[in-house]
Copies of this chain bind each other. A is one copy, B any other.
Amino acid sequence: MSNMIDFSNKRVLIIGGLGFIGSNLAKRLVELGSHVKIVDSMLSQYGGNLANIAGFEDSIEVNFSDIRDAHSLAYLVRDIDIIYSMAGQTSHIESMRDPYTDLEINCTSQLTILECCRKFNPEVEIIYASTRQLYGRPQYLPVDEKHPIAPVDVNGINKYAGEMYYQLYHQVYGMKCTSLRLTNTYGPRQHLKDDKQGFVGIFVRLALQGQPITIFGDGKQRRDFNYVDDVVEAFLVSTGNKNLWGNAYNLGHTDKHSLTEFVELLSKHADFESDQIPFPDDRKAIDIGDYYADFSLFQSITGWAPKTSLEEGLEKTIAYFSKCGESYF
């Protein structure tokens, strides 16, 4: 914790703050004494959920607006010390079905955030939630930041363009921008309602509902999974660290698990059946296979490393949703 700035009385704006990671971050920042304002569009499939701020809703300010609305955003970014830019379209398959919405949210709107800040609050610090998706299928493992950028879907292209804007606005305008490339994140407040947010949320929901889990392919694809508290910690230790500005850093986990192992760990806490089927064609075309990141660059600058094992994290996740799952599915 010693490498974290003093967050008390910081004026923080969390864009996408009613979503999964944004709301966990909001909760933590409230505990640290920050003045937290949330911007969220409540677009139904993206995870915005008032249940995510249950219990601390009176300690934060919520503003319902869409980041595609440049006018309100230009007002909202003023008098803010730190912006966490967490809003995004994260579904890979949706980005192929509706590439324009993905483009508007993941690319155009990131430019809007930066232009608003450049004009009305150029001193603000911005931490951007990017994604491992821009690497595409790993050409080597673990994937470090020098790995070629080769997205396998529209989402990866748009997220990369969005991320590059942050780096550019640091280089050209000196703005304080850092990007974190997230891998599979899971935990309390995750979007579970539909199948739009990746296999982790889908599997957790099915496990809780006692419904069968179907794995596409052989289930041997290995991934690194980050529990949301560890990801929140990464955003916090990034803040105020000028050595990070202008670049993008991998998050990740030293433990890797296959999808089959993930399902097995889930089954320790819930009753369900599982089977495997061949990949559907549209998903096969954009599947990236094995992925795990080298996060040593980020660790060397910030000291961050994930503290939660997948087993422990899944136990906490199941416990959370067992208590208040009715708000999530």
Mostly, the A contact residues are helix
Contacts A99-B115, A103-B111, A111-B100 hold; do A172 and B160 have CB atoms under 8 A apart?
no
Report how many copies the assembly holds: 2
Check if A157 sits within 8 Å of B168, measured CB to CB: yes
Check if B152 sits within 8 Å of A157, measured CB to CB: no
Query: What is the bound-complex CA distance between A108 and B158, given in angstroms?
Result: 10
Min Cβ gap A135→B in Å is: 13
Contacts A96-B172, A172-B96 hold; do A107 and B161 have CB atoms under 8 A apart?
yes
Instruction: Determine if A151 is an interface residue (Cβ-Cβ < 8 Å).
Output: yes
Min Cβ gap A246→B in Å is: 11
Min Cβ gap A165→B in Å is: 6
Query: What is the bound-complex CA distance between A103 and B100, given in angstroms?
Result: 13
- Chain B residues lying within 8 Å of A96, measured Cβ to Cβ, are 172
Check if B172 sits within 8 Å of A286, measured CB to CB: yes
Check if B172 sits within 8 Å of A153, measured CB to CB: yes
Instruction: Determine if A164 is an interface residue (Cβ-Cβ < 8 Å).
Output: yes
Q: Which residue of chain B is the closest to A148 with respect to CB atoms?
A: B146
Query: What is the bound-complex CA distance between A192 and B115, given in angstroms?
Result: 30
Query: What is the bound-complex CA distance between A107 and B152, given in angstroms?
Result: 17
Interface of chain A residues 158 through 213 with chain B (CB within 8 A): 158, 160-161, 164-165, 168, 171-172
Instruction: Determine if A13 is an interface residue (Cβ-Cβ < 8 Å).
Output: no
Query: What is the bound-complex CA distance between A103 and B104, given in angstroms?
Result: 10
Say which residue of B103, B115, B153, B168 sits within 8 Å of A168 (CB atoms).
B153
Check if B165 sits within 8 Å of A157, measured CB to CB: yes
Q: Which 3 A-B pairs have the closest CB atoms?
A: A161-B161, A157-B164, A172-B285
Instruction: Determine if A39 is an interface residue (Cβ-Cβ < 8 Å).
Output: no
- Chain B residues lying within 8 Å of A266, measured Cβ to Cβ, are none
Query: What is the bound-complex CA distance between A111 and B95, given in angstroms?
Result: 12
- Chain B residues lying within 8 Å of A164, measured Cβ to Cβ, are 151, 157, 160
Min Cβ gap A138→B in Å is: 16
Contacts A100-B111, A108-B103, A111-B100 hold; do A152 and B171 have CB atoms under 8 A apart?
yes
Query: What is the bound-complex CA distance between A154 and B154, given in angstroms?
Result: 19
Q: Which residue of chain B is the closest to A158 with respect to CB atoms?
A: B161
Instruction: Determine if A149 is an interface residue (Cβ-Cβ < 8 Å).
Output: yes
